[in-house]
Amino acid sequence: KELRCLVCQNQSIDDSDAELARDLRVLVRERLVAGDDNEEVIDYIVARYGDYVLLNPPLKPETYILWASPAVLVVLALLAVFAFYRRKQREGSPASASLSKDEQERLDELLGTSNDDGKT
């Protein structure tokens, strides 16, 4: 249950139906029948496939990226959202800009309205 299915990635080889997971289960059984204990079997599999095969990889320089990547992605996403809203706020919305007197007169003329007496 401590070994990750390399195909399914977030399932243990015990829970996975993938062919590679089945092959790893067979390999684990063979090692256990040969007399290896759990730690020796895990060490054997890790030596073959690397720390990535562990569902809970150890924290060491080679696995820092595995442990840090979720936090880095969240921080980058928050920075992107912050930058988007800040830029949006700085630009302002075009609807909130007021028209000059000439622009308002031209708009009234195009719409066929008048500001003088409120008649159309």
Radius of gyration in angstroms for the set of CA atoms belonging to the chain, rounded to a whole number? 32
Tens of pLDDT along the chain (120 residues) come to 888 887 876 788 888 888 888 888 898 899 989 988 888 988 888 888 888 888 777 788 877 887 888 899 999 999 999 999 988 887 765 554 677 888 888 888 888 876 555 544
Residue extents of the structural domains in the chain: 1-58, 59-114
Query: Phi and psi at residue 102, in whole multiples of 5°?
Result: -65, -40
Which CATH number applies to 1-58?
A: 1.10.8.640
35 phi-psi bin (left φ>0, alpha ψ -120 to 50, beta other): left
- Residue 25: which residues within 8 A CB-CB, separation 6 or more? 13, 14
CB atoms within 10 A of CB 24: 23
What is this structure's pTM?
0.50
